[in-house]
Amino acid sequence: FGDPRGKQFVELCGLPMLSWSVMAFDRAPSVARIVIVCAPERAAEVEKGVLSPLTLAKPLALAPSGATRQESVRSGLSALPRDLEFVAVHDAARPLVETEMIERAVATVREDGTLAGAILAARSIDTLKLVEGDMIVATPDRSFYWAAQTPQVFRSAKLVAAHRAAAREEYEGTDDASLVERLGGRVRVVECSRDNIKVTVPEDLAIAEATLERRLLT
């Protein structure tokens, strides 16, 4: 991505990628505070490059990242007050998240006491193939498949318990919802815009920048 510090520092429309997510969460009425998880050696750069250009209304803290994504989330959770009812986990590589998306996910969990969490997701639009080696063995019904996104919102106690269990059992999930699911927690999908892409390859930067430019003009 051309920045040795990581893609979260790559500029999109004049601001580091991470700044766009921070602003979206800062505008969300349901968000009380924000924790950014980063490598300790990058903390000063986050403060200066990402945060100093912004005018934020919510309290914000930094927490040290871990060796894995899961360890990093656990570090972020430990930096939050224990009395918070809900927590949202978001990937810095999704700079196109909108405040409305965040609020919908939070409202979904808040309004249904049987839910442990809710995640933003997009319906699968591609035909899916189950493959062994390089041979197709099945074509599943794609109507049952969704692409998980972030933010993922949970009742705080449920997510903390799920992370503790995963650490104790040395289980590594691919997202936070998978940790909650394995303890029997009910997690609902909230359909969201396909704009909420994860910037994974350099080509995604052009898509993200074009989307931001379009939003800034409207």
Q: Map out the domains of the chain as residue ranges.
A: 7-217
Higher pLDDT, 134 or 82: 134
Looking at every residue in the chain, the average pLDDT score rounds to 95
Q: Is the peptide bond between 151 and the residue preceding it cis, with omega within 30 degrees of 0?
A: yes
- Provide the pLDDT confidence category of residue 99 given band limits of 50, 70 and 90: very high
Mean pLDDT, to the nearest integer, of 92-101? 96
Cα–Cα distance measured from residue 63 to residue 49, given in angstroms and rounded to the nearest whole number: 17
Nearest by Cα to 120 from 9, 4, 21: 21
Mean pLDDT, to the nearest integer, of 27-31? 98
CATH 3.30.70.2080 applies to domain 7-217: no
pTM of the model: 0.94
Cα–Cα distance measured from residue 193 to residue 11, given in angstroms and rounded to the nearest whole number: 22
Q: What is the reported pLDDT for 7? A: 82
Q: What is the reported pLDDT for 2? A: 59
- Provide the pLDDT confidence category of residue 6 given band limits of 50, 70 and 90: confident
